[in-house]
């Protein structure tokens, strides 16, 4: 192996492959020349040899060859050596390797393989036959002489030894050639492939003595061997067809998820190989994930039959613009995938653009013309990844493209909500919530101050998590990870527990304020939220009016009927409901009429822009006026300067929340802050000059 690696450095792998082919061809010619006398003698004195040679060539012509996927070595079921090894036993080395040469050329012609491949294969067979002939010469030169076996044990040992020598030499040569092609990077797969070859060839070689005996007794029996060989070939064909069906999507004829996984393994194994022409194989793998836009509308409006025909048409278009070695798969529904072996990442982007261009024209189905658009995600393989990871990355990129409204997006770790780092963060947060220690997950409270009196009327409870390694973790980042998992429910229950416990202790410290806590959309889908809140209020003796639940405007759009049922139940407890981030969503104003909303929180994006943007100021004034008409309290978020505070006072806004009043602080510090009388003065007087 060290010699091979050193030689690679001097000449390159492709030169070694050429040298190997030349060496095999030279060995074949030399051995054939040395045994030419046997060929002439057998051809003139033993007519049965002609029949056996014809059968060997016929076996090569009828060989079953299956190439199931790009990058995979073809499956060849060819019983030629069954006949050629019998020729060796009966008439010597020369006739055997000549017959084998004709059969090899026949198989290579069916494969459309280069002549160099045929020369290499013939040379390997020739050296294997030469090794077997050497063992026969040492043991029993003519174990099947016409007079009959002279010694049963010696004959049997000689034949078995010849078979073993043939297999050993062939295995060594095949392994060496595979190493030169670069397949040594996957030794397990290489060993399994060569092992399967040897098992098949050993069964054929051990059948050849039966043919040799039949040839000496009555050569007319020899063709009968084709019947069991045909049965073996038929079973191999059926096995290949079952394997292909398991890897194929029955609707489109493309690969399915199993076939795509197999293609990934094949292309991985082929990355380090060298093509017969000496051109190195592509070293990079890229996976493109494609999802049709609004395909459900086609099924709903035109029926599933039309939807299936549309998928077939799209599949044909995608496959028609792919490189020859690309693997196109339908993963299910309207999702497709394209696996590419590339030299540069730009190649994958060019293929993605070609797919987008191919889908520009409407798909014609009888008299229908259906416009098709798709979102594509691109992920490139990185060393150490597996197929599942690559597929997930492509899926993330595809949904990123769909969310952005782009046709194509490339995977970026920062956009991956389920990256290993984020999943580890989620695991750590779950452990922190379950831990009896209270120093990691805490609640801070930001005062909400009346613009009319300058007094604190309420506080908003804000989550803080101090990670033991990463320090303070952004709440936005944490919620983006947790909101789609079961951890969100665990977090909400923890917030209710902490806030109600804090509110229960405030009256003893002289505080009579309302505490607001945030809940997610997932929490509003279940009765657990109202049930748990009612239990904690009762256990801790907290008046319901001292707790307020904040829901976001976007949560009203998710499932209005389920959300309304939960909100009504919360309000039925006597707990106020606040509508957070108002103005950023697309909810109908009828929600303000139908839901028991006590408070509207104006989003900070409008509040912060009031001082310099007339449109933002007009929006804030409109919201405040509407809320006043409906008898709803208003809270302006993100107030950070005096000018904005006075503008809000002019509009009649009820409360402000922001750094101009106070930063969020732990519950104990809030008590001290309130006791110190650090209140915000009322916003009265004229606006300062700008």
Decide whether 2-246 matches 257-415 in CATH topology: no
Structure tokens at 17: 């492959």
One DSSP character per residue, 297-365 reads: HHHHHH-HHHHHHHHHHHHHHHHHTS-TT-EEEEEETTEEEEEEEESSHHHHHHHHHHHHHHTSSPEEE
What b/e readout covers 436-457, taking b as 16+ CB neighbours within 10 angstroms? Answer: eeeebbebbbbbbbbbeeeebb
Q: CB of 494 within 8 A of CB of 434?
A: no
Model pLDDT, residue 418: 62
Model pLDDT, residue 147: 46
Model pLDDT, residue 645: 92
Model pLDDT, residue 570: 93
Model pLDDT, residue 657: 93
Model pLDDT, residue 514: 94
What is the CATH T-level fold of the domain 2-246, as seen in this structure?
Answer: Arp2/3 complex 21 kDa subunit ARPC3 (1.10.1760)
Q: How far apart are CA 116 and CA 553, in angstroms?
A: 71
What b/e readout covers 628-648, taking b as 16+ CB neighbours within 10 angstroms? Answer: eeeebbbbbbbbbeeebbbbb
3-state secondary structure of 286: strand
Q: Which residue has the tokens 């070695």?
A: 325
Q: How far apart are CA 251 and CA 419, in angstroms?
A: 33
Task: Compute the C-alpha angle 439/671/636, nearest 5°.
Answer: 95
Q: How far apart are CA 289 and CA 266, in angstroms?
A: 19
Q: How far apart are CA 434 and CA 164, in angstroms?
A: 65
- CATH superfamily to which 439-465+486-675 belongs: EAL domain (3.20.20.450)
One DSSP character per residue, 506-563 reads: TGGGT---EEEEE--HHHHTSTHHHHHHHHHHHHHT--GGGEEEEEETTHHHH-HHHH
Packed helices 47-61 and 187-217: angle between N→C axes, nearest 10 degrees = 150
The pTM for the full model equals 0.52
Q: CB of 572 within 8 A of CB of 595?
A: no
Tell me the CATH number of domain 257-415, given options 3.40.50.970, 3.30.70.270, 3.30.1310.10, 1.10.260.40.
Answer: 3.30.70.270
Residue ranges covered by each domain of the chain: 2-246, 257-415, 439-465+486-675
Instruction: For residue 113, count CB atoms less than 10 angstroms from its CB and return exposed for 0-12, middle for 13-18, buried for 19 or more.
Output: middle
Question: Per-block average pLDDT, block size 10, for the chain (690 residues)?
Answer: 43 72 83 80 77 79 56 61 85 85 79 76 87 82 55 79 88 79 52 65 82 78 74 68 77 88 79 51 78 82 86 90 86 89 80 89 83 88 77 85 82 67 79 74 93 92 88 81 77 93 90 91 82 94 94 69 85 92 64 82 89 89 91 92 91 92 90 74 44
């Amino acid at each position: 192996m060290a010699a091979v690696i050193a030689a690679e450095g001097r000449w390159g792998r492709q030169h070694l492959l050429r040298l190997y082919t030349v060496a095999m061809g030279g060995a074949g010619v030399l051995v054939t020349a040395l045994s030419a006398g046997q060929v002439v003698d057998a051809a003139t004195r033993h007519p049965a040899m002609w029949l056996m040679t014809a059968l060997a060539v016929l076996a090569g012509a009828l060989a079953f060859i299956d190439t199931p996927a790009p990058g995979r070595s073809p499956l060849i079921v060819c019983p030629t050596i069954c006949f050629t090894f019998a020729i060796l036993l009966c008439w010597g080395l020369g006739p055997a390797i000549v017959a084998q040469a004709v059969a090899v050329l026949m198989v290579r012609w069916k494969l459309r393989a280069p002549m160099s491949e045929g020369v290499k294969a013939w040379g390997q067979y020739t050296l294997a036959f030469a090794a077997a002939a050497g063992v026969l010469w040492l043991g029993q030169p003519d174990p099947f002489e016409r007079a009959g076996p002279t010694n049963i044990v010696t004959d049997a040992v000689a034949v078995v030894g010849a078979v073993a020598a043939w297999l050993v030499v062939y295995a060594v040569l095949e392994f060496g050639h595979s190493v030169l092609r670069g397949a040594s990077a996957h030794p397990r797969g290489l060993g399994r492939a060569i092992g399967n070859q040897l098992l098949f060839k050993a069964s054929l070689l051990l059948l050849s003595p039966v043919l040799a005996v039949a040839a000496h007794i009555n050569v007319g029996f020899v063709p009968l061997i084709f019947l069991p060989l045909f049965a073996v070939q038929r079973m191999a064909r059926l096995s290949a067809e079952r394997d292909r069906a398991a890897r194929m999507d029955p609707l489109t004829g493309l690969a399915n998820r199993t076939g795509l996984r197999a293609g990934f393994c094949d292309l991985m194994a082929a990355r380090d190989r060298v093509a017969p022409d000496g051109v190195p194989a592509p070293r990079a793998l890229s996976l493109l994930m494609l999802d049709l836009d609004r395909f459900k509308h086609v099924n709903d409006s035109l029926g599933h039959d039309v939807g299936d025909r549309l998928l077939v048409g799209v599949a044909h278009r995608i496959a028609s613009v792919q490189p020859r070695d690309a693997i196109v798969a339908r993963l299910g529904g309207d999702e497709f995938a394209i696996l590419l072996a590339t030299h540069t990442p730009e190649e994958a982007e060019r293929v993605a653009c070609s797919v987008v261009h191919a889908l520009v024209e409407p798909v014609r189905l009888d008299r229908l013309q259906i416009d098709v658009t798709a979102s594509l995600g691109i992920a490139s393989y990185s060393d150490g990844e597996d197929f599942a990871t690559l597929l997930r990355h492509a899926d993330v990129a595809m949904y990123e493209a769909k969310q952005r409204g782009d046709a194509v997006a490339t995977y970026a770790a920062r956009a991956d909500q389920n990256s290993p780092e984020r999943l580890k963060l989620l695991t750590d947060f779950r452990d922190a919530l379950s831990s009896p220690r209270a120093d990691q997950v805490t609640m801070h409270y930001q005062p909400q101050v009346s613009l009319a009196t300058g007094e604190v009327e309420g506080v908003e409870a804000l989550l803080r998590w101090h990670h033991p390694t990463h320090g303070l973790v952004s709440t936005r980042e944490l919620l983006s990870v947790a909101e789609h998992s079961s951890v969100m429910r665990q977090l909400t229950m923890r917030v209710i527990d902490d806030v109600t416990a804090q509110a229960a202790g405030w009256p003893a410290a002289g505080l009579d304020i309302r505490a607001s806590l945030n809940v997610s959309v997932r929490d509003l889908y279940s009765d657990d939220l109202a049930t748990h809140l009612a239990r904690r209020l009762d256990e801790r003796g907290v008046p319901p009016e001292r707790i307020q639940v904040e829901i976001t405007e976007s949560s009203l759009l998710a499932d209005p009927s389920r959300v309304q049922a939960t909100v009504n139940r919360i309000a039925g407890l006597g707990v106020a409901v606040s509508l957070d981030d108002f103005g950023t969503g697309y909810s109908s104003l009828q929600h303000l009429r139908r839901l028991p909303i006590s408070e509207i929180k104006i989003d900070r994006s409008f509040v912060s822009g009031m001082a310099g943007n007339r449109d933002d100021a007009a929006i804030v004034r409109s919201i405040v006026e509407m809320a006043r008409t409906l008898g709803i309290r208003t809270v302006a978020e993100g107030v950070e300067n005096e000018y904005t505070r006075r503008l809000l006072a002019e509009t009649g806004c009820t409360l402000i929340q922001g750094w101009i009043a106070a930063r969020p602080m732990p519950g104990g510090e809030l008590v001290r802050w309130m006791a110190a009388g650090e209140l915000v003065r009322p916003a009265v007087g004229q606006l300062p000059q700008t």
